[in-house]
Each structure stands twice: as structure tokens, then as C-alpha cells.
Chain A
Amino acid sequence: MPNTKTVVPYSGTPEQEAQLKAVIAEYKDVPGGTMPVMQQAQEIFGYLPEEVQIMIAEGMGIPLEEVYGISTFYSLYNLNPKGRYKITVCLGTACYVKGSQAILDKIVARLGCPVGSISKDGKYSVDATRCVGACGLAPVMMVNDDVYGRMTPDQVDDVLAKYK
């Protein structure tokens, strides 16, 4: 379980904190408002470090345990930031049977950065994902918002070379 503890120090700005306060005020009295707040908090800060979780818990008037419970239950919430280049390889069924595991293995070998982690310089993070819905292009990998379809392991180096 790599996603249970924050290891990167918190570096939020007062502007970001003000933004979060505004979101909390909007959802404080909405039934089921905790998750929308956490989703937007992640958009503001890029991830959910302990400090942000405490702000949410105090703002929403719920125990921190509940916020932590939610953030570790759902795979979308990150307790650690992602790399400047966020690499994801689809391991949905359609991509898997067309060999996406070999592509993921090659990326991990090239970057020396295990699945679910971030490279030491903060440049790359590598994740496996379940189906991005572009099954017609299988196997698929993404770097930030760029989609690369019909990949072969040979093409991995060319794709990575674009993100220096």
C-alpha cells in the first residue's frame, strides 16, 4: 500500500488555503459534501497531504479519521504529489490482452521508478490505470493528457524522449 502516508512536505500557499476555505463554505451544509470538497482540494493542491486533510476535517466539522478513511479508500485521492510528467499505462482488459503489461514493464525499467511512485527528481510518476475507455486504440499509455495508442514496447523510448 504505497498510498497511505504522505512523505513530501506540505508547501501550500495562503491563496490555495483561501480557495479551499471557499470550497468548504460552499459544501459545509450540503448532504454528502465531503467528497466534492476533497476532489476540489486535490485539484487545488495537486494532492492531499495530512495538513490539507486536517483543514478539511476541521472545516467540515468531521473527524480527521473519516477524511483519512475516504482518501485511502478511493484510488483517485493521492497522499503524495504526482510527477511533472504523469505517466499512466492502461491495464484494462482490452489493453492487457494486447500486451500493455510489457509496455509498463519497459517504462518502469527505463525510469527506474516502480509503479505507483514518483522519480527522485520529481519529474516522472508511473501509474497503472484501469481502462481509460480508449479500447479501440489498445494498448494505450498516457503522459499527462496526451494519449498514445497502439503502443509497442519499441516505441516507449521515443515517447519518453519527448518529455525531458
Chain B
Amino acid sequence: MNFVRAHVLVCTGTGCSSAGADGIISAFEEQLKKNGLDEEVRVVKTGCLGLCAKGPNVVVYPEGVYYNYVSAEDVPEIVEEHLLKGRPVTRLIHGDAEDASKATNLTDTAFYKDQVRIALRNCGVINPEDIDEYIAYDGYAALAKVLTEMTPQQVIDEIKASGLKGRGGAGFPTGLKWQFAANSPGPVKYACCNADEGDPGAFMDRSVLEGDPHSVLEAMTIAGYAIGATEGYIYVRAEYPIAVERLKKALEQSHEYGFLGKNIFGTDFSFDIGIRLGSGAFVCGEETALMVSIEGKRGEPRCRPPYPAVKGLFGKPTILNNVETYANVCWIINHGAEAYAALGTEGSKGTKVFALGGKINNTGLVEIPMGTPLRQIIEEIGGGVPNGKKFKAVQTGGPSGACIPASQIDVPIDYENLTRIGAMMGSGGMIVLDEDDCMVDIAKFFLQFTVDESCGKCSPCRIGIKRMYDILDRITAGQGTLEDLDTLEELAAHIKGNALCGLGQTAPNPVLSTLKNFKDEYVAHVVEKRCPAGSCKALLNYTIDPAKCKGCSACSRVCPADAISGVVRSPFVIDQSKCIKCGSCMEKCKFGAISKG
């Protein structure tokens, strides 16, 4: 291998790829060649660096200079100034560090400095398509240790001692799950991975698969050894083409190196992994539905017990862990359960990855120790709410989750605290809402999602959620009554108690939590026929202020419904019976004469 004096890391996660990372890579290659640097500077495609909002992201080592919003046109300047002359291009450097003199370094930025990266340890650091880079970062050391030095029971005990809980949302202790499957008798068992990340607004698993696929394959093999399985499946969304492609490449490479297949590391343990693509059904994230789907049928869940640890895939004992859970396993084996358990809180050990999205400056992926206060995530790591708007709530856990209101912003994030305040950890989607978001509309949005995604097998979910949606639809149209609010709560209780699987049981959560924390907004819609956030169209009225209107007729010309009339150079008027509330007139008016409310 050639000696290389500098590395240029270009993020090729989904966000940065969409923003043009490929063009940047070819621009670097071309410019380096042109300047005769292609032998001494290497360009590396990495997985997600985390700060998707400011992509495309580029990091130049050895200094660790972090460039944001890079475009292909910026590349000649970076090559000539930074790589040739050693002068970082200050105008492109990420500028949120407290100390401006340190602002050049990635790990000193406010976004990174409080993060502890375990599941994401290799994301944005190594080239995910190169197994040698993974090995250089302790890759497959954990598997070697497990197969040559530990018994299956010792592996399970180590995972138990670490306190690792399932990161898919339910938070079931991972070690215990493995123990159940290990205790189930039988020569055929399966160790599977749930990569059917369906929460809208969550992309943790995707980033791990795209940025560090080998860590998941290695951990699945370790799990297979621990429970006595010889085969595993990874069920991944077909909507994640980059992740699927990198997984396939990783599988090929680990077969080639003998880390998968027969007699791994010369032991008598054999294990193999197959990829199955999900086909766009949210319910398949539920474990029993996922297994039915791997079997090639409609992904409808079934009653538990029997649990998958006893009777799972193809009727055999099976464990199913989430991608992020697996991403922690090798680190625990390498560094010891104690080191992992030292992070986090009493009941929740280790770290958690969150996908920050919505009304927040630093949209992206963050990994923080359990117990970090929500305020720190929003205000420091996330950089606060943009455009000077007021922070209103955070939605966690997607369609199964709840809203944490601004009054609870100091709550430390762990499983116990979130349950206590009536929210849930979920898989890690964290959507920030500001004053312009209507909580009734958000609840309706999630119910629309679960109505679409309900598999229809049990009636509480198929019919009940639809009825709740209808009520919310009425309320946002200004036709709700106060009794509707009681009916919502009653229906929610029935559905939670009687639905067959997790999808139905948790579907009412977004409604219940907004009813609890933002009841005044529901009441405003019902009683005053008003949407306080100014978001529900049916409750809005657009009006023209005669004092400000110059009579230019721009609004009446843009109106698609011919609802605006008037005489040029005197104030125009909106006919409310014709207005479809599209807002085009307000966008068009140069004088700020049109308001909504």
C-alpha cells in the first residue's frame, strides 16, 4: 500500500448522495490528478457523517477539517489551497464551535463534541465497501474472540451484563432474548436482523447499513453462535437501494475472507446469512409479520405466545434483533460489558442513536449516552429551532410514539423517563415541531399512516383506527364536537387493549399524547373553530387589508378559483365562499396586505 499523506473523506450517505456527493468525488479525483497529488492524497467514500442538513460533507485528514455545503465547483479551491498549500478554505468550514480557533476540527463542533459513538463508530470513518478498512478498525476481532475463547453461554452472559436493550423500540433486554432462544431445543435455529426501518423520519438503521455493514453481519454471526443457529436472514427495505447493495458486497467479502460460511476461523462453527427484501409494508417491522414475510407470504402478524424464541421463522426457534442493537454487540465483546454498562443510566445502559428532523437546524444523525437531557439534544447538538420560531414539542417513536411538550424539555432521555411522562423511546426518530405545527394535524397525519399500513387482520386496528381518523378529520375541518374528544379516548383504550400486534396497540398513542398535552388546541378547533397554529386549511380565512392594498390586481390574477375581485387601484376583496385557501394570493402580494387567521 502506498504511503498517503492526506485523506479526503466524502460522505456518501443518502442525504449527501442526494445533494451531489458523487460529483464531488469525481471532481476531487480529477483535480488531484491535475495537480499531481493523486499518489499522495486518497479520496475515501464513507457512510453517513451525521450532519445531513449541511451536506454534502467532506472531512480532510490528518487535520480533521470539516467542510459543509461543498459543491463540485469548490473542489479546485480545496485541492489547490488546502491540499497543495496547506491552507484550509475557511469559507467552507463548519462554524458552530464555541472557540473559533478550534472550529476547524470535526470533533470540536457543538454538533459532535457531546456525542458518544458506539453503534456509529465506523460510520463516516471507514469505506463501507472495503472489508480491510473494517478489519483495521477491530473488525471481526470480536467474532474471533467469541469463537476461540468463549462458550455460547459466556457470550450471552456478557450481553446480559452489558444491559443492552433492543433498540427497535420495545426495549426488551437483548441478552435475555438470546437466552430464551439458546434454551429452546432443536438442531435448526435462526438468528435474524430486522432492517425494515419503517418509521417515517427515521434513518438510523439505514445509516448503519450504509456506513458499516460488516458490523451487523459480524454481530449476527456472534448471535448465531450464542444461540446455536447456523443460518440467518437480514430483512431490509427495498426502498434502501444503497444499503442493499453494500450489504451484498459485504456478504461477498466476508465469505471470501472466511468470516461467513463453513468452519469459521477453523472452528466447527458454520453460519450463513441471506438477504430478503421488504416490499413496502410497515407492519413487517413487527417480528411475527416479518418472519411470515420472509417465508414469502402476506406479512400479517400472529398471536404471541408462542414467542419467536420458541417458534419463529419456518416454525423454528428464532431471534430477531434490530440493526442498531447488533451494531452495539461487537463493541461490547471487544471492550467488555462493564465499559458499556458504565455509560447511561440505572435502567438504560449505553447509547442511543437518534435521527433529528423537522424544525431543527442540524438535521441529521446523533448518538448520545442514555440520560442526556432533551434540552441538550435540541439546543446544543441540534443547534435549536430555525428562523427564530418557538420550540413546541418533540415527536418520538413515529406512528407508535408520542409528543414530548416543551414543558418537559429537561427530561433525561432514557426508557424509564420517557415511559413515565407518557412518551416512548421508539426506534429513534425525533421530529422537532415549532409554533407553526398544529398538534391535531400531526396526530391526524400519524393516524392516516397507520390506517394505510394496517394489515386488516384484526378489527380493533382495521376499523377502530379508521374511526379515530374520521373524527380527527372532522375536527380539523371545524366540524368536531366536545363529545368527539371523549369518543377518541374511549376508542383509544379499546384499540390499545384489543389489537393483535404492536402496530394496532400503539397506533392511538399520537392522539392520546396530544390530547393530554395540547388539549387546548383540540378545544380551539372544536369550540372556536380556529386552528391556533394556522395550519388547518378549512379553519383559515384569507383577508385583504384595505389599508395596505394598492389595487394592483396581482392576487386576483393568480387566484385559481376566481375568488378575488375588485377595481384596479382600489382595494380588492376575497369572496370567502369561493376561496379554496390555497394561499397563492398571499405569496403573490408584494405589499403584505393579505393575512390568514
Given contacts A35-B276, A135-B15, contact A94 B357 (CB under 8 A): yes
Is A91 a contact of B200 with CB atoms below 8 Å?
yes
Q: Determine if A39 is an interface residue (Cβ-Cβ < 8 Å).
A: yes
Q: Which residues of A contact B364 (CB under 8 A)?
A: 136
A154 contacts which of B14, B276, B280, B587 (Cβ < 8 Å)? B587
Is A66 a contact of B297 with CB atoms below 8 Å?
yes
Q: Determine if B19 is an interface residue (Cβ-Cβ < 8 Å).
A: yes
Q: Which of B83-91, B201-209, B376-384, B570-578 contacts A (4 or more CB under 8 A)?
A: B201-209
A136 contacts which of B53, B238, B281 (Cβ < 8 Å)? B53
CA of A109 to CA of B437, assembled, Å: 24
Q: Determine if A33 is an interface residue (Cβ-Cβ < 8 Å).
A: yes
A72: nearest residue on chain B (CB-CB)? Answer: B298
Q: Which residues of B contact A38 (CB under 8 A)?
A: 279
Is A133 a contact of B449 with CB atoms below 8 Å?
no
Q: Which residues of A contact B314 (CB under 8 A)?
A: 31
Q: Determine if A75 is an interface residue (Cβ-Cβ < 8 Å).
A: yes
**Most B CB atoms within 10 A — which of A33, A102, A130?**
A130
**Most A CB atoms within 10 A — which of B357, B364, B431?**
B357
B243 to chain A, nearest CB (A): 9
CA of A130 to CA of B297, assembled, Å: 22
Is B238 a contact of A39 with CB atoms below 8 Å?
yes
Q: Determine if A138 is an interface residue (Cβ-Cβ < 8 Å).
A: yes
A105: nearest residue on chain B (CB-CB)? Answer: B582
CA of A129 to CA of B281, assembled, Å: 12
Q: Determine if A161 is an interface residue (Cβ-Cβ < 8 Å).
A: no
In the complex, chain B residues 285-337 whose Cβ is within 8 Å of any chain A Cβ: 293-299, 314
Q: Determine if B372 is an interface residue (Cβ-Cβ < 8 Å).
A: no
Q: Which residues of A contact B398 (CB under 8 A)?
A: 93
Given contacts A35-B277, A130-B198, A136-B52, contact A147 B299 (CB under 8 A): no
Q: Which residues of A contact B15 (CB under 8 A)?
A: 133-137
Q: Determine if A92 is an interface residue (Cβ-Cβ < 8 Å).
A: yes
A138 contacts which of B198, B357, B429, B433 (Cβ < 8 Å)? B357
CA of A154 to CA of B588, assembled, Å: 11
Given contacts A31-B314, A137-B52, contact A70 B298 (CB under 8 A): yes
A73: nearest residue on chain B (CB-CB)? Answer: B298
Given contacts A31-B295, A35-B293, contact A135 B355 (CB under 8 A): yes
B280 contacts which of A74, A102, A138 (Cβ < 8 Å)? A74
Is A136 a contact of B363 with CB atoms below 8 Å?
yes
B395: nearest residue on chain A (CB-CB)? Answer: A93
Q: Which residues of B contact A74 (CB under 8 A)?
A: 278-281, 299
A64 to chain B, nearest CB (A): 14
CA of A147 to CA of B449, assembled, Å: 23
Is B19 a contact of A93 with CB atoms below 8 Å?
no
Q: Determine if B65 is an interface residue (Cβ-Cβ < 8 Å).
A: no
Is A92 a contact of B359 with CB atoms below 8 Å?
no
In the complex, chain B residues 518-546 whose Cβ is within 8 Å of any chain A Cβ: none
B384 to chain A, nearest CB (A): 16
In the complex, chain A residues 103-161 whose Cβ is within 8 Å of any chain B Cβ: 105, 109, 129-138, 140, 147, 149, 153-154
| Size of B's binding interface in residues, CB under 8 A | 55
Q: Which residues of B contact A96 (CB under 8 A)?
A: 200, 445
Is B587 a contact of A32 with CB atoms below 8 Å?
no
A131 contacts which of B203, B295, B297, B363 (Cβ < 8 Å)? B203
CA of A132 to CA of B279, assembled, Å: 14
CA of A68 to CA of B570, assembled, Å: 62
Contact with A along B537-561 (1 / 0, CB 8 A): 0000000000000000000000010
Q: Determine if A12 is an interface residue (Cβ-Cβ < 8 Å).
A: no
Is A94 a contact of B587 with CB atoms below 8 Å?
no
CA of A91 to CA of B359, assembled, Å: 15
In the complex, chain A residues 58-94 whose Cβ is within 8 Å of any chain B Cβ: 66, 69-70, 73-77, 91-94
B190 to chain A, nearest CB (A): 11
Q: Which residues of A contact B199 (CB under 8 A)?
A: 131
Residues of A whose CB lies within 8 Å of any CB of B are 31-36, 38-39, 66, 69-70, 73-77, 91-94, 96-98, 102, 105, 109, 129-138, 140, 147, 149, 153-154
A–B Cβ pairs within 8 angstroms, 19 of them: A31-B296, A34-B297, A39-B277, A69-B298, A70-B296, A74-B279, A74-B281, A76-B238, A76-B279, A91-B200, A92-B200, A98-B358, A130-B200, A133-B203, A133-B240, A136-B55, A136-B357, A138-B357, A138-B363
